[in-house]
Amino acid sequence: LTGVPREHRAFQYVLAHAIPGDPRHVLQTFDHWCYHCEHLSSVGPVKGEWHPIVERLLAERAPLRVLELGTYCGYGTVLLAGGLPPGAHLYTVEGDPQNATVAEKVIRLAGFHEGTVSLIVGPSAEVIPRLRDGHGLAQADFVFMDHAKRWYLRDLRLLESHRLLAPGATVVADNVLFPGAPHFLQYAKTCGRYRCRVHRASLEY
């Protein structure tokens, strides 16, 4: 009725209640809004073993260059940035300018500055070919895919063709079973380039 998008309403709540500079509290405040007010399709806090999986992979691999496709409101970005080793950099790509505006505020509210997290606005198919020359990402050690599922395979192939995946890189893709990315999953399992593992998890919130 107000004409204010729910993502902006969620941010106003986070801004009013979260502790600035505390990434975990920012995420917890988001979670409280999503449980009690309005649903947002963020990763969420209890998606099976999702947080431990991501946090364990970041701790094990200690990636210095991380790429996120699908920033949305910045929830996953804050989660990823909080697990980065010193000196690492996260590049996150969001195609929707309005969501990117919210995400930028959330990321900075959580305490991550531009030296740690770079938010790139634009369609992933246009951004990926420009990552090296336009944004300084030579190769990614860790990729988190959480944008439109129909683009997962296309964008993985783009990352391959532009040689943006470092040797031994880890690619984590959300929601490959539901709503589903069957072509991506089949390619990852059968192309011979990846060791593939599927983690079953509950839906967010």
Over 118-154, what HEC string results? EEEECCHHHHHHHHHHHHCCCCEEEEEECCCHHHHHH
Beta strand 140-145 with 65-69 is: parallel
Q: How many Cα atoms occupy the beta-carbon half-sphere of 7 within 13 Å?
A: 18
Q: Which residue bears the tokens 């190769």?
A: 139
Question: What is the C-alpha separation between 148 and 187, in angstroms, rounded?
Answer: 17
Distances (CA, A) of 55 to 79, 85, 102, 133: 8, 11, 24, 30
**Catalytic center residues:** 146, 149, 174-175, 204
